[in-house]
Amino acid sequence: MTEHEVALACATCESSIDGCEFCEEPGCRAPICYHCLAEALGQAMAHPHAHGG
């Protein structure tokens, strides 16, 4: 990361991201990662527990 780049975190899960997956705008106030966005929009389902329960 250069000194001009600002660390960005998903507003939902707080994981480190390069940019907002929804709007892709660098100044986004509520950045969201791919996985949280996919779950929020019902495009993917939350990963089940490893034991399948």
Partner 1 sequence: MFDYEDGKLDWLAAGLPSEGTNAQRPRAGDIARKDVPTCRLDERLGDVRDRARGAGWDACVVLNEERVVFGLLRSKELKASPDLRIEEAMRPGPSTFRPFVSIEEMAAFMTEHDLDSSPITTSDGRLVGLLRRQDAAKAALELHEREHHSNGGQT
Beta carbon of residue 41, minimum distance to partner 1 (angstroms, whole number): 5
Q: Which long-range contacts (CB under 8 A, 24 or more apart) does 32-35 make?
A: none
Give the amino acid at 39.
E
Asked if residue 40 lies in contact with residue 17, where contact means CB atoms within 8 angstroms, the answer is no
Determine if 8 is a binding residue for partner 1 (CB under 8 A). Answer: no
State the number of binding residues for partner 1 (CB under 8 A).
15
Determine if 12 is a binding residue for partner 1 (CB under 8 A). Answer: no
Binding interface with partner 1 (CB under 8 A) = 20-25, 28, 30, 37, 40-45
